[in-house]
Structure 1
Amino acid sequence: MWLLGFKKLYHLFSIPFLLFSATLLYAQGEFLLDTQPGSYSQSNPTVAYDGTNYLVVWQDTRNGTYDIYGARVGVGGTILDTIPIAISTASSDQIKPQITFGDLYYLVVWEDYRNDMQNFDVYGCRVNKIGDILDTSGIVIKDLQTSYALDPAVSFDGTNYFITYSSYDIYFYDEIYGEFLSPSGQSVGWGVNISGSTAGDDHRSRIAFDGSNYLVVWHALDEDILGRRVTPSGSNLDATPISICTATGSQTEPEVAFDGTNYLVVWQDNRNGNMNIYGARVTPSGSVLDPGGFPICTQGSTQANPAIAFDGTNYVVVWEDYRNGNADLYGAVLSPTGSILDTFIVSSKSGDQVTPSLAHGSGNQIFIVYSGWTDTYNGTPINAMRIWARFYPITDAGENIPRTSYVSTLRIYPLFLREDDLLTVQWTSKTPSVSIEIYSIKGDQIARWRFSDKTEGVIIWNLKNKLGVRVKPGIYFVTLSSNKEKYYKKFIVLR
């Protein structure tokens, strides 16, 4: 990883570390998707996985107005389209893309202004696995001559695509609607009014499918999080919308994923004064398991715009975080029961990193894409927001790095502690003789525990060294060692 103010190179646990005087780290492993020169900007990325590769899509100003572009990326990080794919370059603006993958094709949807800069529409386009555009003029999903359609979302149920959007009704209130599209790009012929409200505006819908039905979530005029289950044939299963969170303050920008048992809905929430990240689980039958929601990150600054994916075992949530002044990206791993298992930094480069989007790929891999400030690339000035990406687990930021094919686990939390906090170390090992050790960035051993007859355990550490003195602010490492393998994790004690 890149470190500011380095002094010398240490080989700690046979892994090279740079000793440094400042605490700012530049995360290694981030990569730029479009390296072409030019000061055009890219924003609002979205990503999906087709079983082999990812397709990342974004809005792009290289032609003077906003158009929709994309690029395929392999699971190893290879950019397959070094010249991005032009998905829609129609007149006027195309913005806010969303994407999903069906059995054969991706479907990309977006807000489209080609017909009217006031009464904008929702268009879509299918893209195959090799990056071919199947609908060069776009598919009209909703063309409203006297109204508008905005903020689309899209999912796939194994038979058809389901697209939701916000549009105003006869009372001039925005409601959430849905349309179905076949894999051949044809309207299935039924639509649905999902929110069904005549008393206020409903915005920013998102969708997940549980194998039988969809859960559509959105935020309402009073800035609460609502939802409704919809069948693949377009019927609302709930007589009225589900109140997922109606806490005091503002709850907006929901996202949702399904883990095979329940949904997890996450959103930004200012009940505490600052905008924070909260979540709540919802069952396939529509019961809210966490009324009022539970906190995911309430660090004393602003956290906003969460994104979520399920990796096959746990949820990964990533959000914009302003604790350092600019917008960085932080994340957390949550169990299906809502417990926070881990936290991590996605990006803390100079400038802003915003609007993350996640997709689950092969194994437990999560692909994270976002828009980030880019001064230069390989010496070429850019000075614009561009699309960046990286994978989770983030092995270069202290995740488990096995030395052999043996499989043990090492989890620590939280990763950022104040001097009076406690550190939890949870471990399993394939051998009954292990050593858990804590080291400073200089390589000094701070604490050690040895076990000769245990293959799992939990340690609660009070941040005190062997002399009973609390450690100073800085970067530290936890190691799990046996005669077969060695793992390490990094954590930071804050001032």
Structure 2
Amino acid sequence: MVRRNAFTKLRGVLVLGALLTACGPVPDTEAPVESSTGQDVTAMSRTPAPQVDPMPLATSEPAVAYGWGRFLVVWEDVREGGVYGTLVRKNGTLVNPAGFRINIGTGPGGTPSIAYDGNQFMVLWKTEDSIRGVRVKTDGTVVGPVFNVITSGRVAGPVGIACSSRICLVTFTVNSDTGSEINARRVTTDGVVLPELVHGIAPGARLMDEATVAWNGTDFFIAWSDSRGGELTPDIYGARVKPDGTLVDPGGLPIAVAPGAQRSPDVVWTGRRFLVVWSDGRGADRDIYGARVRSNGRLDDPQGIPIATGTGDQLFPAVAHHNSKSLVVWQSDFDGLSRVRGVRVHEDGTVMAPGVFAISSSDYEREALPDVAYGGGLFLTAYSGSSAAPSEPTYILSARVDHQARVLDVDTLTRASTLPPAAP
């Protein structure tokens, strides 16, 4: 998955970053939703859909969000338009087994990010020189036109997004001749891109990357990987941003300042605190750590919470929350294989029994690059799967996980009734 290109080519080594998406609070109840034809999607899904054979169609890792009875999983696809998705009901049923095109514009696709604003999904994707997006209704109707967040050959991914009911904050990296920095731009939930950039987030760092963002009902919180402590040993910093674009914490707040490289953060609002998770290099192998940050910026865990410290490298964490527990998922690399693992973290910062558990099915050599969302009483983890590493295209798979850390099923989301044409 090429989107995790972290810290630009200035670093001089291959480093990987994280898929960054975060969503605002959403309702957990499921309600019938009308499709673009006026039909009830809930009723429609009770009729068995035509069976189609799964295909490897994806060229990026997936992103997932939940809204009003549906998960929407999106990915970069080999088919025309380049960005596709599928709706998944909380019982695991695919509403549209062959997927549907999300990039309805004429431009290229790219690796997508997603958030839910309480009414609709906002889906963005990064191309070579721009960040574009559309709105998607909960029945899968794509609402055009495609809007352009920013156009610049210096803009790099990954792209983070979180939404209130009125404003979304989009985060991204801007490269320069001397380094890179995190910028952000606000987009209304009507798809109007506001002109002012939120910049100056951490001007003291030469290299910044991998920004992720969450919304707590009052403020946005951005977390990122920051090189001010050393280009090869970055740390995790964070900053709050008001809905009007005011930067509350110029220069950023230190979240994880430790030996080794702290990379690939993700963040979620738990109802009481922000929980930031990352891949941590303070030990012999890379581990998953976390820290809780209060809405006033106070850091509860300055030494970090060791979440997963098993054998091998633990990479690319993602996190979702409900009630008093968060589900943290990540890619675990050991002995040439990649697997998706998970663990639950309590609001008080403790790792919950049974500890680390397997999420992916072990059907593929490489099961990697997960994202996770909560809704309808369970968590949905989406990830890529392929028989070789690296390999493109890949399958996109999903696993439903309940509050008792039980994996209910694993399904393949990338399906098509005919062989797809190559994307332009």
Any conservation in 1 of the 2:22–2:267 contact (CA below 8 Å)?
Answer: no
Q: What residue in structure 2 maps to residue 315 of structure 1?
A: 274
SS in 2 for 1:224: strand
Please give the per-residue CA displacement for 1:51-85, whole angstroms capped at 9, x wherever unaligned: 389xxxxxxxxxxxxxxxxxxxxxxxxxxxxxxxx
CA distance in structure 2 between the partners assigned to 1:232 and 1:182 by the alignment: 12
Q: Which of 162, 181, 190 pairs up with 2:136?
A: 181
Any conservation in 1 of the 2:20–2:160 contact (CA below 8 Å)?
Answer: no
Question: What is the alpha-carbon root mean square deviation over aligned residues?
Answer: 2.9
Unaligned runs of 5+ in 2: 1-17, 31-50, 353-424
TM-score (norm 2): 0.66
Residues 176, 303 of structure 1: alpha-carbon distance in 2 compared, 3 angstrom cutoff? same
Q: What residue in structure 2 maps to residue 369 of structure 1?
A: 329
List aligned pairs for 1:185-264, cutoff 5 A: 185-195=140-150, 197-198=151-152, 200-222=154-176, 223-240=180-197, 242-264=199-221
Q: Which of 369, 387, 398 pairs up with 2:340?
A: 387
SS in 2 for 1:239: strand
Residues 366, 91 of structure 1: alpha-carbon distance in 2 compared, 3 angstrom cutoff? closer
Residues 95, 228 of structure 1: alpha-carbon distance in 2 compared, 3 angstrom cutoff? same
Q: What residue in structure 1 maps to residue 111 of structure 2?
A: 151
Residue identity in the other structure for 1:269: D
SS in 2 for 1:207: strand
More strand by share: 1
Q: C-alpha displacement at 1:398, in angstroms? A: 7.8
Please give the per-residue CA displacement for 1:140-187, whole angstroms capped at 9, x wherever unaligned: 112677x6322211111222211011124xxxxx11111111112111
Residues 331, 91 of structure 1: alpha-carbon distance in 2 compared, 3 angstrom cutoff? closer
Q: Is 2:327 aligned against 1:349?
A: no
Q: Which of 51, 58, 62 pairs up with 2:28?
A: 51
Q: C-alpha displacement at 1:301, in angstroms? A: 1.1
Q: Which of 105, 121, 136 pairs up with 1:161?
A: 121
Unaligned runs of 5+ in 1: 1-42, 54-85, 169-173, 376-382, 400-495
- Bigger relative contact order, structure 1 or 2 (CA pairs below 8 A, ≥6 apart): 2
Q: What residue in structure 2 maps to residue 279 of structure 1?
A: 238
Q: C-alpha displacement at 1:373, in angstroms? A: 3.2
Q: What residue in structure 1 maps to residue 396 of structure 2?
A: none
Q: C-alpha displacement at 1:200, in angstroms? A: 2.2
Q: What residue in structure 1 maps to residue 73 of structure 2?
A: 108
SS in 1 for 2:127: strand
Q: Which of 239-248 and 150-159 deviates more?
A: 239-248
Please give the per-residue CA displacement for 1:123-152, whole angstroms capped at 9, x wherever unaligned: 11100110001111111112677x632221
Residue identity in the other structure for 1:135: N
Any conservation in 1 of the 2:219–2:241 contact (CA below 8 Å)?
Answer: yes
Please give the per-residue CA displacement for 1:364-396, whole angstroms capped at 9, x wherever unaligned: 211111111356xxxxxxx62111111112889
SS in 2 for 1:301: coil
Please give the per-residue CA displacement for 1:407-428, whole angstroms capped at 9, x wherever unaligned: xxxxxxxxxxxxxxxxxxxxxx
Any conservation in 2 of the 1:162–1:181 contact (CA below 8 Å)?
Answer: yes
Q: Which of 181-190 and 316-325 deviates more?
A: 181-190
Residues 387, 213 of structure 1: alpha-carbon distance in 2 compared, 3 angstrom cutoff? same
Please give the per-residue CA displacement for 1:95-127, whole angstroms capped at 9, x wherever unaligned: 310000011211001111245xxxx81111100
Residue identity in the other structure for 1:187: V
Q: What residue in structure 2 maps to residue 467 of structure 1?
A: none
Larger Rg over CA atoms: 1
CA distance in structure 2 between the partners assigned to 1:44 and 1:287 by the alignment: 25
SS in 1 for 2:86: strand
CA distance in structure 2 between the partners assigned to 1:344 and 1:313 by the alignment: 17
Residue identity in the other structure for 2:196: A
CA distance in structure 2 between the partners assigned to 1:206 and 1:396 by the alignment: 25
Residues 220, 344 of structure 1: alpha-carbon distance in 2 compared, 3 angstrom cutoff? same
CA distance in structure 2 between the partners assigned to 1:87 and 1:236 by the alignment: 39
Residues 47, 260 of structure 1: alpha-carbon distance in 2 compared, 3 angstrom cutoff? closer
CA distance in structure 2 between the partners assigned to 1:90 and 1:220 by the alignment: 35
Q: What residue in structure 1 maps to residue 55 of structure 2?
A: 90
Any conservation in 2 of the 1:45–1:370 contact (CA below 8 Å)?
Answer: no
SS in 2 for 1:183: coil
Q: What residue in structure 2 maps to residue 359 of structure 1?
A: 320
Please give the per-residue CA displacement for 1:331-388, whole angstroms capped at 9, x wherever unaligned: 1111112211123111110101111100011x2211111111356xxxxxxx621111
Any conservation in 1 of the 2:174–2:181 contact (CA below 8 Å)?
Answer: yes
Residues 157, 50 of structure 1: alpha-carbon distance in 2 compared, 3 angstrom cutoff? closer
CA distance in structure 1 between the partners assigned to 2:29 and 2:331 by the alignment: 24
Any conservation in 2 of the 1:100–1:108 contact (CA below 8 Å)?
Answer: yes
Please give the per-residue CA displacement for 1:272-295, whole angstroms capped at 9, x wherever unaligned: 212111111101110001112121
Please give the per-residue CA displacement for 1:242-288, whole angstroms capped at 9, x wherever unaligned: 44333331110110011222111001111221211111110111000
Any conservation in 1 of the 2:264–2:316 contact (CA below 8 Å)?
Answer: yes
CA distance in structure 2 between the partners assigned to 1:144 and 1:161 by the alignment: 17
Residues 239, 398 of structure 1: alpha-carbon distance in 2 compared, 3 angstrom cutoff? closer
Q: Is 2:286 aligned against 1:327?
A: yes
Residues 348, 394 of structure 1: alpha-carbon distance in 2 compared, 3 angstrom cutoff? farther
CA distance in structure 1 between the partners assigned to 2:131 and 2:71 by the alignment: 23
Aligned length: 306
TM-score (norm 1): 0.57
Any conservation in 2 of the 1:177–1:191 contact (CA below 8 Å)?
Answer: yes
CA distance in structure 2 between the partners assigned to 1:395 and 1:231 by the alignment: 34
Residue identity in the other structure for 1:226: N
Any conservation in 1 of the 2:20–2:158 contact (CA below 8 Å)?
Answer: no
